[in-house]
Amino acid sequence: MSVDTQVLRVGMLEDDVDQANRVSGWVTERGHQCEVFHEPDHFQRAFRKTSYDIVTLDWNLPDATGVEILRWLRQSLVSDVPVIFITARQAEADIVAALEAGADDYLVKPVRQHELLARIGAMARRAQPETEILEYAPYVFDTSNRLISVSGEQVRLTEKEYDLALFLFRNRGRVLSRQHLLTSVWGTSAELNTRTVDTHASRLRKKLNLSATEKWKLTSIYQHGYRLEEYTGS
């Protein structure tokens, strides 16, 4: 699945209800999903349970600042999710402070619809670059022909098994919620039961040997989702 057609999960922390409704409307009209939070603690609770492709933050928030939330993401959770600041603050010192805290982009209100959507698209492409051959030894993905081989031997996967495997490897090391996987791989969030993800993950473990005895392992995170990571033997 290309970045252009991928359904992105966007998490938005914005205390201005009108602003949040307007921007989330733009995002959903583009075919993505946007979950809006008006208070930092609600956002933090949700982020501990699920995952997003992109996060947008306002600066002035109840009981916290956007920079404090960003530092929490980068330091406490060690999260590398792309973050865009959308704020009325436009002083150079504020922009520098946000970028130094780990922001990936900075937009000053009033934000423009097509510029925001273009920034989101560009950020998604940077996070998941399109190349024809992706190597995660001993796995090799031929994205043009939708083929995967292990140690030189081609492995037969169904369409969704391939999509799931590619998405997991591109997001290796990240904890991905079942809802995130349903959105990104199946293009839906509610119509399919999360058991669909579990069934496909189980098949991938067997077909690709993603167990703790191999170089790569696919781990189930209790009541959350999955993480694919390199096995260190520890």
Domain with residues 9-127, CATH architecture: 3-Layer(aba) Sandwich (3.40)
Give dist(CA 131, CA 3) in Å, integer: 11
- Do residues 9 and 52 make contact, with C-beta atoms less than 8 angstroms apart? yes
Q: How far is CA 196 from CA 35, 186, 189, 202, in A?
A: 22, 10, 12, 10
**Looking at domain 133-230, does it have CATH number 1.10.10.10?**
yes
Residue 3 — pLDDT band, cuts 50, 70, 90? very low
Q: Phi and psi (nearest 5°) for 203? A: -65, -40
Q: Which of 31, 75, 38, 80 is nearest to 57 (CA)?
A: 38
pLDDT of 127 strictly over 80: no
Q: Which of 156, 148, 146 is nearest to 216 (CA)?
A: 148
pTM of the predicted model, to two decimals?
A: 0.63
Q: Which of 87, 83, 74, 89 is nearest to 120 (CA)?
A: 83
Pick the residue with more confidence: 214 or 18? 18
Q: Where are the domains of the chain?
A: 9-127, 133-230
- Same topology for domains 9-127 and 133-230, yes or no? no
